[in-house]
Homo-oligomer: A and B are copies of this chain.
Amino acid sequence: MDLLDPSLQRYLDLGGIFVFAISGALLAVRKNFDVFGIAVLAFATGLGGGIFRDLVIGAVPAAFSDPGYFLTPLVTTVMVVFLHPELGRIDRAVQVFDAAGLGFFCVVGTVKAHEYGLGTVGSAALGLATAAGGGVVRDVLANEVPSLLRRDREVYAVPAIVGASAVALLLRFDALNNWTMSAAALTAFVIRLLALRFNWRAPRAWSRGGAGDTGASEGVG
């Protein structure tokens, strides 16, 4: 039943938590929150997606049962509190880490949902929610419109959908192994990097004969 070597799953999870927690903590610094605000956003961003996934499948969230899941955002908070000017300067590096976290989380989330008995569509949907959930919680707490929803941010949903669907299909056809799984994570990671590099935006709602800025002719589908 263990599709992922449990310790590999744990390290992928912790890696994703680390990079997501950095993005939460940096947003808190930009919003001028105090150190507890930084810590809360680091924890919420790093752990939010996984807690939601575990509540849905009925597992006790690892965030509360494995001290490693607690220590990772704590270490991140300390790092960001003292190093945020450097981290801010390497914004591009943070985005690369965040893309890596996206790859980790949509794979781990889909696999864990499948292990708990969800079907192909349900597993992919929960993998997607795991990958995107932390960022949504981060933005809601910071009282901003989630970047996931916004037209002026590079597409986040496409790489997560591709990665989670690929894993769900591999599970369906019994073709998931360490190689295909890594390929799925890598695909999500690369698509996200391309979206950032080439500034891909998703189209808006279709507007009949709509010239001007309601048009949906640009962007990826």
Could you tell me the distance in whole angstroms from the C-beta of A149 to the nearest C-beta in chain B? 3
Q: Complex: how many Å from CA A55 to CA B156? A: 27
Specify the chain B residue showing the minimal Cβ separation from A85. B208
Contact (Cβ within 8 A) B204 A35:
yes
Q: Which residue of B lies closest to A214 (CB)?
A: B32
Number of copies: 3
Instruction: Give the A interface residue count (CB, 8 A).
Output: 64
In the complex, chain A residues 115-136 whose Cβ is within 8 Å of any chain B Cβ = 117-119, 121-122, 125-126, 136
Query: Could you give 27 example pairs across A and B, Cβ below 8 Å?
Result: A28-B149, A31-B149, A32-B204, A33-B151, A33-B204, A34-B149, A34-B204, A35-B203, A35-B204, A35-B216, A36-B148, A36-B157, A36-B202, A37-B149, A55-B55, A56-B61, A57-B60, A63-B125, A64-B122, A64-B126, A65-B118, A65-B122, A67-B119, A81-B205, A82-B205, A141-B145, A141-B149
| A→B interface (CB under 8 Å) | 28-29, 31-41, 51, 55-58, 60-61, 63-65, 67, 70, 80-82, 84-85, 113, 117-119, 121-122, 125-126, 136, 140-146, 148-151, 155-158, 201-208, 216, 219
